Amino acid sequence: MLHREHKHIDAVSVSVPDNVHAVAAIAAMQLGKHIYVQKPMTHDIYEARTLTEMAKRYKVVAQMGNQGASGDGVRQMQEWYNAGIIGDAHKIIVWTNRPVWPQGTGTPKTKDDMPKELDWDLWLGPAQFQEYHKEYVPFSWRGFWAFGTGALGDMGCHLIDPAFKTVGLAYPSEVECSEGTIYEKMWTAAYYPESCPSSSSVILKFPGKDGKADVKLHWMDGGITPERPEELGPDEMMGGGDGGVIIEGTKGKMMCGTYGANPTLLPTSRTKEVNVPKTLARVPEGHYVQWVNACIAGYGKNELSSPFEYAGPLTETILMGNLALRSYMIKGSNGKGFPGRKKLLWDAVNMKITNFDEANQFVKREYRSGWEVKLG
């Protein structure tokens, strides 16, 4: 399409499965096209870092599709936080009801008849070849590492964004995790390295800034939910119906649902008692139109809610959790099994795990022959 029609195209929206995000975005940016990429921005950490740098190099308007970033909720939370209402954040709890698709099941062992409308080679993109199966298309691809990024990749950009932006986080320094176990029969655990886990718990640590304490972010999915805050009434909703965020500070706590919806101070009575002026501009036109308007105005003219210079580190943080999950059962060079809850230390500048080299294979994947791309 870009080869034939690029003279008639001003901007490109990438809404394909996660494994093709970087390939499509790079092709567009190299032609100088403005770009909108659905969340997560990329499939791999290396891709996220590269797309962030390329958007600056090619001077294109680039936004990630985490639409809650343009909502009023996250701006309300930022204003509360900037006013010192909850003090300095030290703990963030995030959870979701995802996955709502199969995970932890392993790759199908059979193949199905190919729909005549589907170009399977094109759909696979950079992923290593495997036979078509209806379990992948059109939706459940999210639960397989070859194509998707699991529950964390799907919802992390929506849920972690309010906290990431409010507290002013950047790259994490370490990560640890645990994940749900599938049992094929009594006492016999199944291990499916090609499939995302059925449930997971991930803890990321962010170094404190300006002498402040480190910030720990705890992610939960697959039915795992946090303890209810003491400040929340027994019948009050915690977060939203499908997940939520709680930010704990030195002077109090705040909470919201998915996409930053319904921001609330805790106890909830404080929400009406505290009056902080609006200091941040709202985006009444919404996330998509904001990007379109920025494309029309030109590079560097209009402010974006989730530009790549912000969305890149956010995506890398989320993919760092996935790196830990994928490394959970890998045997180290000493031949011993990967111990549960091992802490992985991250060198963000060099994009490298420094204490378990086997985990670094998940920083940048191997592309299928014929689909190699020059990243950088």
**Rounded CA gap, 329 and 348, in Å?**
23
Q: Let me know whether 25 and 152 are in one domain.
A: no
Q: Let me know whether 73 and 218 are in one domain.
A: yes
Give the pLDDT confidence score for residue 376 in this predicted structure.
54
Task: Give the pLDDT mean for 12-33.
Answer: 96
**Which domain range does residue 301 map to?**
2-67+285-313
Q: Let me know whether 233 and 296 are in one domain.
A: no
In a domain, 323, yes or no: no
Q: Let me know whether 200 and 225 are in one domain.
A: yes
- Given a cut of 70, is residue 338 above it in pLDDT? no
Give the pLDDT confidence score for residue 332 in this predicted structure.
57
| pLDDT confidence band for 374 (50 / 70 / 90) | low
Which residue(s) pair with 248 in the sheet?
91, 253
Q: Let me know whether 172 and 45 are in one domain.
A: no
- Given a cut of 90, is residue 371 above it in pLDDT? no
In a domain, 332, yes or no: no
Q: Let me know whether 242 and 113 are in one domain.
A: yes
| pLDDT confidence band for 343 (50 / 70 / 90) | very high
Give the pLDDT confidence score for residue 192 in this predicted structure.
87
Structure tokens at 3: 């080869």
- Given a cut of 80, is residue 333 above it in pLDDT? no
Q: Let me know whether 168 and 33 are in one domain.
A: no
Q: Let me know whether 62 and 72 are in one domain.
A: no
Helix, strand or coil, per DSSP, at residue 296: helix
What angle (nearest 5°) sits at the alpha carbon of residue 308, between those of residues 246 and 9?
A: 130
By residue count, the chain amounts to: 376
In a domain, 318, yes or no: no
- Given a cut of 80, is residue 336 above it in pLDDT? no
Give the pLDDT confidence score for residue 106 in this predicted structure.
85
Give the pLDDT confidence score for residue 334 in this predicted structure.
54
Give the pLDDT confidence score for residue 191 in this predicted structure.
81
Give the pLDDT confidence score for residue 287 in this predicted structure.
98
- Given a cut of 60, is residue 335 above it in pLDDT? no
Predicted confidence (pLDDT) per residue in 98-123, tens digit:
999 999 988 898 999 999 999 999 99
CATH number of the domain to which 27 belongs: 3.40.50.720
Predicted confidence (pLDDT) per residue in 32-41, tens digit:
999 999 999 9
**Rounded CA gap, 271 and 256, in Å?**
12
- Given a cut of 80, is residue 375 above it in pLDDT? no
The pTM assigned to this predicted structure is 0.95
**Rounded CA gap, 12 and 28, in Å?**
7
In a domain, 23, yes or no: yes
CATH number of the domain to which 162 belongs: 3.30.360
Residue 242, φ and ψ in degrees, nearest 5: -115, 15
In a domain, 29, yes or no: yes
Give the pLDDT confidence score for residue 341 in this predicted structure.
63
Q: Let me know whether 31 and 126 are in one domain.
A: no
**Count of structural domains within the chain:** 2
- Cβ–Cβ < 8 Å for 214, 206: yes
In a domain, 98, yes or no: yes
Q: Let me know whether 47 and 156 are in one domain.
A: no
Give the pLDDT confidence score for residue 187 in this predicted structure.
76
Nearest to residue 255, comparing CAs of 268, 242, 272?
268
Give the pLDDT confidence score for residue 185 in this predicted structure.
78
Output the average pLDDT for the chain.
94
Task: Give the pLDDT mean for 169-192.
Answer: 87
Give the pLDDT confidence score for residue 304 in this predicted structure.
98
In a domain, 371, yes or no: no
In a domain, 345, yes or no: yes
Q: Let me know whether 166 and 221 are in one domain.
A: yes
Cα torsion 138, 200, 353, 175: sign: positive
Predicted confidence (pLDDT) per residue in 183-238, tens digit:
777 877 788 889 999 999 999 999 999 889 999 999 999 999 999 999 999 999 99
Q: Which of 57-71, 336-350, 353-367 has the lowest mean pLDDT?
A: 336-350
| Max CA pair span of the chain | 62
The rounded percent of the chain whose pLDDT value lies above 70 is 96
Q: Let me know whether 237 and 350 are in one domain.
A: yes
